[in-house]
Amino acid sequence: MAIKLVVFDIAGTTVKDDQEVSKAFQAALKKYNYNIELNRIDPLMGYEKTLAIKQILLLIENDTDKITPELISDIHKEFVQQMIRFYQYEPGIEPLPHAEETLAALRAAGVKVGINTGFSRDIADTIVTRLQWREKGLIDYVVGSDEVELGRPHPYMIQKMMLEAGITDPLQVVKVGDTEVDVREGQNVGCKYVIAVTTGAFTREQLEPYNPSHIIDDIAQVIDIINQ
């Protein structure tokens, strides 16, 4: 059955990320007097960000009564501001090797390309605008985690794109991402292929236990998988 839609994650999958997302989390938490090492933040990348903040606070705050919706919201607002400033102005914001070529090849073959993320839509749009992916004709859909009822690992972001694309069969859909929740999102949708990449937060060894259909080191291999 022909693949009609491929959904890619952003940071660590299609866009270079030298732990910048984790560093922004770290800085936002520090503003509210919470100190945590980057290696404890990294495993939560990919989750909807308010959920990730709550999970981090549960790791480091002994008094759970302090973990209020207001605190989570305040930390998230600080995180969003930092991420938007970073993606707007910092040098070195660039696609990962072969990412743009892969998106272009898929669209040239008549396959729809979607971008989804644990970021809110405002951050996602900032990245897409900075890289000019709409102007370059590389993507069809962008969905942020705040646009659906629940973010990853729930299936709703991909299902939103499927609805927009008029696709009802998940076996016509592929998910590509670099984290545990990317993999579980694709599995929860029932995608034909759930492809994990080693260019982001997780190593091959860390991804293997989640049983993606494929683990790849170069995003260009997505084309070979679809054409096999």
> Is there a single domain that holds both residue 11 and residue 45?
no
Kindly report the CATH number assigned to the domain that includes residue 210: 3.40.50.1000
Q: CA distances (Å), 110 to each of 54, 160, 216, 219, in order? A: 40, 19, 23, 18
Are 134 and 24 members of one domain?
no
According to DSSP, the residues that pair with 15 across neighbouring strands are 11, 95
Residue 165 and residue 118 share a domain: yes
Q: What is the SS3 string spanning 136-178?
A: CCCCCEEECHHHCCCCCCCCHHHHHHHHHHCCCCHHHEEEEEC
Last residue of one domain, picked from the residues 61, 89, 117: 89
CATH of the domain at 44: 1.10.150
Q: Are residues 169 and 213 in the same domain?
A: yes
The pLDDT of residue 209 is: 98
Residues 44 and 76 in one domain: yes
Same domain, 113 and 78: no
Query: Are the CB atoms for 78 and 71 separated by under 8 Å?
Result: no
Number of folded domains that form the chain:
2
Q: Are residues 82 and 124 in the same domain?
A: no
Q: Which domain holds residue 9?
A: 5-17+94-227
Contacts 24+ apart (CB under 8 A), 24-31: 24/79, 24/82, 24/83, 24/86, 25/52, 25/53, 25/56, 25/79, 27/78, 27/82, 28/53, 28/75, 28/76, 28/78, 28/79, 28/82, 29/53, 29/56, 29/75, 31/75, 31/78
Asked if 107 and 217 sit in the same domain, the reply is yes
Q: Specify whether 76 is located in the same domain as 189.
A: no
Q: Of all residues in the chain, what percent are helix, strand and coil, respectively (each to 5)?
A: 50, 10, 35
Q: Which amino acid is at 220?
A: A
Identify whether residues 84 and 123 lie together within a single domain: no
Of 89, 119, 150, which marks where a domain is finished? 89
60 and 133 in one domain? Answer: no
Mean pLDDT in runs of 10 for the chain (228 residues)? 93 89 90 92 86 93 94 94 88 94 97 95 94 97 96 97 98 97 98 97 95 98 95
Q: Is 33 left (phi over 0), alpha (psi -120 to 50) or beta?
A: left
What is the predicted pLDDT for the residue at 227?
Answer: 92
Same structural domain for residues 158 and 169? yes
Domain boundary among 36, 54, 89: 89
